[in-house]
Amino acid sequence: MISSYFPRLKRFTLCGLVVLLAACGSSSRPGPIDGVRVGDSSSLKDMVPASQLEAAASRQYNAMKQKAAEKNALAPDNHPQVIRLRGIAKKILPHAYAWNPEAQAWKWEINLFISDQVNAFCMPGGKIAFYTGIIEKLNLNDDEVATVMGHEIAHALREHARDRIAKAQLSNLGASVLSSALGLGNLGGQALGQGLQILGLSFSRADERDADLVGMDIAARAGYDPRAGISLWQKMGQLSKDKQPEWLSTHPSGDSRIYEIQRNINEALFLYARAKNTTVDKLPNYKP
């Protein structure tokens, strides 16, 4: 896969490797000039072609839908919660493209899977899934749904899956990896072929903080109260006392997440107030 980005050299010296790492380690900072600020996004992800990752994600998402439909576990288009989710997504997505212009061409899709799992995700290329468990067990209001959705969309916008795959590849700098990088193999092909296991990648704490903040930004611009992030994690904390939800298996929890939200809440409240055609000082108290 990486061979499409680099010439098919027959030799790759240590010096060349250093140059490659330096180039891939550079970063870019997309996003609007106002609102919540986040760190730079790594360009290591450029080692993994987006088109191939998105195609693999789309295939697996469709397979997941088909399997669920066969078990009557795919909520129909007229399901009240499906209508609700798609309505929230319709408001959020126009504010997402500033964080990744390529996302405007993605074939966005959102579906609801009937399952007790407390889970939600957004696959590369904009394939969103919610489980009834996360909505019902946490009794999510619209602001909290938007918080979850914004967070998952942010993972896709910031292309954390591509970045994690690239870092996993670079963690094994041996002869076989180098030959793959030179077009003599299919670097990352196994990861792409694993389909939904792409979503099983454990994002770093930096990735999770990034998704929390970017998600809060786009949801606030769409008119959803960013203070919902605090009530969401409080609910999640209560639920996890008995059994850790699936959604938390790859999402570090704890007071640190609420702390980061509170640190950046003023910028997000400004965006939310602007969306509501008011000012921050005139916003009513938030009631979960």
Strand partners, 121: 129
Q: Residue 22 corresponds to which amino acid?
A: A
Candidates 200, 97, 92, 68; CA nearest to 147 is 92
Cβ 277 vs Cβ 45: under 8 Å: no
Q: Give the length of the chain.
A: 288
**What are the backbone angles phi and psi of residue 122, rounded to the nearest 5°?**
-130, 115
246 catalytic, yes or no? no
Euclidean distance between CA atoms 13 and 16, whole angstroms: 5
What is the C-alpha to C-alpha distance for residues 144 and 273, in angstroms, rounded to an integer?
Answer: 17
Of 54, 109, 144, 152, which one is the catalytic site residue?
A: 152
CA atoms within 13 A on the CB side of 167: 14
Pair of tokens at residue 276: 């509501």
Active-site amino acid positions: 152
